[in-house]
Amino acid sequence: MNLKSLIRHETFLALLLVVVLIVLSFQSDRFLTVDNLLNQGRLMTEIGLIAIAMTFVIATGGIDLSVGSILGLTAILTGVFWQNVGLPLPVAATAAIAVGTFAGFVNGVIITRFRVPPLIATLATLALYRGLAEGISQARSVRGYPEWFYVLGQQDVLGVPTQLWILFLAAVVASVILAYTTWGRTVYAVGSNEVASRFSGLSVEKTKLALYTASGFAAAIAAVIFVSRVSTTRSDMGTGIELDAITAVVLGGTSIFGGRGTVVGTIIGLCLIQALKNGLSLAGIKGDGTIMLIGAVLILAILASNLFERSGTRT
């Protein structure tokens, strides 16, 4: 493993984050306040959960483009199960999450059983799952959830937004799994050399199947949090979130070819993106202009780390 170059990328990124935070705090007094930062954390939870699962998927050399559609489908089903089918909300949400997880499992089956390249497989299910969401919802949105449901997306536990706890927990668990367990080791091995992994008796197919299922699960959880945060469900929820999540993962140092990457890197990448979005909008730059900057940061960060690596490890 290129531990050195990895650390270098993450350190570089963390430094960049610090610089950005300092610069932005000079731009606006409201930026570096506890309230604002916690609120930003709230906003990045959904992408965060998806990006954490995506880190694993990309580290195996795969990709999952269907997460945004799974999010939309799960959101719609939560509403439909609750309002139209008449299930109690907790049951409805659980059932919807189960469907979202199953959607991820289907991705895994298509990729492992039928050997369809992940990009194509999830491109197809991206259309399929979003289509199901649109078909089921018939463009109707579901509103009027009970008050307690908003605890998840709009309120705090111990002074910290509820969903931020979930993201934090997910990040810690995922980091530990990726860094210290046999499962994490398998992920890196598969991403670096799938054939050799198979020849070493690692369960390549099972691992991949589990990862795509987990990716579906993460998107489904994100969906319920999303619904709770915005108080409504719509079939277009989560459109394009896959690209945001991939951006965070790649920015965080995970190689798009697999074999390399950490959850910490992804989280730093995520924070960097969110800080830029927020800080710039506070500084008066129009909200969508910040997206441009994120794109530029993505390209420049990879360019910089490419240059580092080449000058550093050339023998």
Partner 1 sequence: MTTTVEATARSRSVPARPGFFKRLFAEYGQEVVVLAAIVVLFAVVTMVNPRFISANNLTTIFSGNAYIAVAAIGMAMVIVTGNIDVSVGALIGVLATISGSLAVAGYPIWFAWLAPVLVGMAVNAVIGVLVAYARIPSIVVTLGALSILRGGLISVTGGTWITDLPPDYLIAQKQILGLPVPLVFMVVLTLLAAFWMRYTAFGRSLYAIGGNAEAALATGIPIARRTVAVFVIHGAFAGLATILFATQLQVIQSTVPPNLELTVITAAVIGGVSILGGSGTVIGSTLATILFATIGSALIFVNVSAYWLRAVIGLLILATVLADMLRRRGRG
Partner 2 sequence: MSSSTAYVSLTGMSKSFGGVKVLKEVSFDVRPGEVHALLGENGAGKSTLIKMMSGLYTPDAGTITVDGHDVKFSSTRDAGAAGIATVYQELLLFPELSVAENVFLGNYPRTGAGIIDWAEVRRRTRDLLDQLDTFDLDVDAKVLSLSVAQRQRVEIAKALSKNARILIMDEPTASLVESDVQRLMAIIRQLRERGVGIVYVSHRMPEIFALADRVTVLRDGAHVATKDIGEVDENQLVAMMVGRSIESLFPKAQATIGDTVLRVKNLNHGRHVRDISFELRRGEILGIAGLVGSGRTELALTLFGMTPATSGEIEMEGRAVRIASPRQARDLGIAYVPEDRSLQGLVKSMAIRKNVSMATIERLSSGIFIKAGEEAQRALDAVKRLSIRCRNIGQPVGELSGGNQQKVVIAKWLETMPKVLILDEPTRGVDVGAKAEIHTIMGELVKQGVAVIMISSELPEVLGMSDRVLVMSGGRITGEIDRADATPERVGTAMTAHRTGEAA
Q: Of partner 2, partner 1, none, which one does residue 151 interact with (CB within 5 to 8 Å by kind)?
A: none
- Of 12-20, 193-201, 240-248, 287-295, the window that binds partner 2 (rule: CB under 8 A) is 193-201
Q: Does 123 bind partner 1 (CB under 8 A)?
A: yes
- Of 1-9, 32-40, 74-82, 162-170, the window that binds partner 2 (rule: CB under 8 A) is 1-9
| Residue numbers 230-249 binding partner 1 by CB under 8 A | 236, 239-240, 243, 246-247
Q: Does 204 bind partner 1 (CB under 8 A)?
A: no
Q: Does 124 bind partner 1 (CB under 8 A)?
A: yes
**Cβ density class 251-281: b for 16+ within 10 Å, e for less:** bbbbbeebbbbbbbbbbbbbbbbbbbbbbbb
Q: In the numeric block, which tokens belong to residue 301?
A: 């960060």
User: Nearer to partner 1 by C-beta: 18 or 127?
Assistant: 127
Question: Which stretch of DSSP H or E encloses residue 160?
Answer: strand 160-161
| Residue numbers 201-220 binding partner 2 by CB under 8 A | 201-203
142 DSSP assignment: B
The DSSP result for 29-96, as a single string, is TTTTSHHHHHHHHHHHHHHHHHHHHHHHHHHTT---TTHHHHHHHHHHHHHIIIIIS---HHHHHHHH
CA 207 – CA 188 distance, rounded (Å)? 11
Q: How far is the CB of 290 from partner 2 (least distance, A)?
A: 35
Q: Does 314 bind partner 1 (CB under 8 A)?
A: no
Contacts for 297-304: CB closer than 8 Å, 24+ residues apart: 297/16, 297/251, 297/272, 297/273, 298/247, 298/250, 298/251, 301/12, 301/13, 301/16, 301/251, 302/250, 302/251, 304/12
| Residue numbers 131-150 binding partner 1 by CB under 8 A | 131-132, 134-135, 137-139
CA 116 – CA 138 distance, rounded (Å)? 31
User: Nearer to partner 1 by C-beta: 56 or 129?
Assistant: 129
Residue 126 · residue 240 · CB < 8 Å: no
Q: Does 198 bind partner 2 (CB under 8 A)?
A: yes
User: Nearer to partner 1 by C-beta: 132 or 166?
Assistant: 132
How many residues does this entry show for the chain?
A: 315
Q: Does 114 bind partner 1 (CB under 8 A)?
A: yes
User: Nearer to partner 2 by C-beta: 201 or 284?
Assistant: 201
Residue 117 · residue 99 · CB < 8 Å: no
Q: In the numeric block, which tokens belong to residue 70?
A: 């799974």
Q: Binders of partner 2: how many residues, by CB under 8 A?
A: 26
- Of 36-44, 108-116, 200-208, 214-222, the window that binds partner 1 (rule: CB under 8 A) is 108-116
User: Nearer to partner 2 by C-beta: 186 or 215?
Assistant: 186
Which positions lie near partner 1, rule CB under 8 A? 65, 110, 114-117, 119-121, 123-132, 134-135, 137-139, 236, 239-240, 243, 246-247, 250, 256-257, 286-296, 298-299, 302-303, 306
Which positions lie near partner 2, rule CB under 8 A? 1-3, 177, 180-183, 185-186, 188-189, 192-193, 195-203, 259-260, 315
